[in-house]
Amino acid sequence: MASNKRKCLSFDTKLKLIKEVEEGTKSKAELCREHGIAQSSLSTILKDKDKIRATVNQGTRQLKKQLTYTFPDVDKALLIWFEQARMMDVPISGPILIEKGEQLAQDLVIHTVN
């Protein structure tokens, strides 16, 4: 069994790595050792640097993964409903969110195949 755990870096850290490589102050091997990542991970970060910069510019520096939504309209509507319910001190649980999400999907005529 491997003793090393996977290391997940925030977008902010990835951006710092990109800047350090571009400035050339440290070698790639040094950066990998400092951050505890493999050189292949650094190569992937450098390959995706445009996407990483775009994500950071959107204000999501602390996230570690880019979130994708299957139904963005449902997610937006559910967020609006959630914020309104919280302002009225309505208790909300996971099952309630799921039920409301399914209801909103039906209202927005989104059908999924189960």
Judged against a pLDDT cut of 70, whether residue 54 lies above it is answered with: yes
What are the distances in angstroms from CA 27 to CA 33, 56, 81, 91?
10, 24, 50, 53
Judged against a pLDDT cut of 70, whether residue 65 lies above it is answered with: no
2 pLDDT band (50/70/90 cuts)?
A: very low
75 pLDDT band (50/70/90 cuts)?
A: confident
CATH no. for 11-57: 1.10.10
Judged against a pLDDT cut of 50, whether residue 1 lies above it is answered with: no
64 pLDDT band (50/70/90 cuts)?
A: low
